[in-house]
Amino acid sequence: MPRLLPPSEHMEGMVKMSQLKRYSELIQLSSFDDRYNYLRLKGQVGEDTFGFDRYLNQMFYTSTEWKQFRNYIITRDNGCIMGLSDYPYARGDRIVVHHMNPLNKDDIIHSSDFLMNPEYAISVPDWLHRAIHYNLDNVSFEPKLVTRYPGDTCPWKGGH
Partner 1 sequence: MESILNSVKKIVNVSLEDDSFDQDLIIYTNTILAVLTQMGVGPVEGFVITGEEETWDDFVGDDIRIQLIKTYVGLRVRMMFDPPTNSSAVQAFDNSIQETQWRIYAMTNYGGWT
Q: Which is nearer to partner 1, 50 or 66 (CB)?
A: 66
Q: Which residues contact 122 (CB under 8 A, 6 or more apart)?
A: 23, 26, 39, 73, 77, 82, 83, 97, 98, 100
Best CA proximity match to 129, nearest among 84, 87, 98: 98
- Which among 14-22, 32-40, 51-59, 145-153 is the span making contact with partner 1, rule CB under 8 A? 145-153
Q: Work out whether 141 is an interface residue with partner 1 (CB under 8 A).
A: no
Q: Work out whether 146 is an interface residue with partner 1 (CB under 8 A).
A: yes
Number of residues that bind partner 1 (CB under 8 A): 21
State the Rg of the chain over Cα.
18
Q: Which is nearer to partner 1, 20 or 95 (CB)?
A: 95
Q: Work out whether 93 is an interface residue with partner 1 (CB under 8 A).
A: yes
d(CA 76, CA 36): 18
Within residues 50-79, the interface with partner 1 by CB under 8 A covers 68, 70-72, 74-75, 78-79
What is the contact surface with partner 1 in residues (CB under 8 A)? 68, 70-72, 74-75, 78-79, 85, 88-95, 146, 148, 152-153
